[in-house]
Amino acid sequence: MKKVLKTKRKIRFQDCDPFNHLNNSKYLEYFINAREDQIEEHYNLDIFKLMKTTSLSWVVASNQISYIKPAFTMETVIIESQLIQYTDNTLLVEMKMWNKDETELKALLWIKFIHYSFHTKKVASHSDDLMQLFHSVAVPVEQTVFENRYSKVVQELKSRMHT
């Protein structure tokens, strides 16, 4: 089972600012939409079907994002995601937006999700099946602070470009 998931997306005109850059708030939409598609395609996990049948889903608890290089109108980008941490009721997903050749990093995002019951209106524990899935696909990272992770990713990218 793939652990690092990738999706191509085209940056649309209506999502851009007057400079033809992807609007800051739209990055989150591109990331979330890509992740939803990726987990359905690769893990057969349809979060909307799950919500309808169990009244359980995930809500966003926090986002941490660094905008590194602009994404431009009609540019094709690669959106990469991986689960880097999980508990019995939370997920931490790292996402990156790259140019189409994956040589230029455009943005780095950490998004924390909380598993939530719409029936009880409280935080809910993940099922055993979900915990097994998370265990099989998680790619832990050494850094536990976003800024430290950002520095490490940028450093790795620079050294990759100089080799």
Per-residue pLDDT, 160: 84
Per-residue pLDDT, 66: 98
This prediction has a pTM of 0.96
pLDDT in tens, 139-159: 999 999 999 999 999 999 988
Nearest alpha carbon to residue 98 among 73, 143, 68, 74: 68
Residue 127: DSSP 8-state: P
Q: What is the DSSP string of 28-72?
A: HHHHHHHHHHHHHHHH---HHHHHHHHSEEEEEEEEEEEE-S--B
Mean pLDDT, rounded, of the chain: 97
The mean pLDDT of 56-69, rounded to a whole number, is 97
CATH number of 5-161: 3.10.129.10
Domain spans in the chain, listed from the N-terminal domain onward: 5-161
The mean pLDDT of 94-105, rounded to a whole number, is 97
Residue 28 predicted with pLDDT over 80: yes
Spatial contact of 81 and 91, defined as CB atoms under 8 Å apart:
no
Residue 162 predicted with pLDDT over 80: no
Per-residue pLDDT, 163: 65
Residue 35 predicted with pLDDT over 90: yes
The mean pLDDT of 108-123, rounded to a whole number, is 97
The mean pLDDT of 111-131, rounded to a whole number, is 97
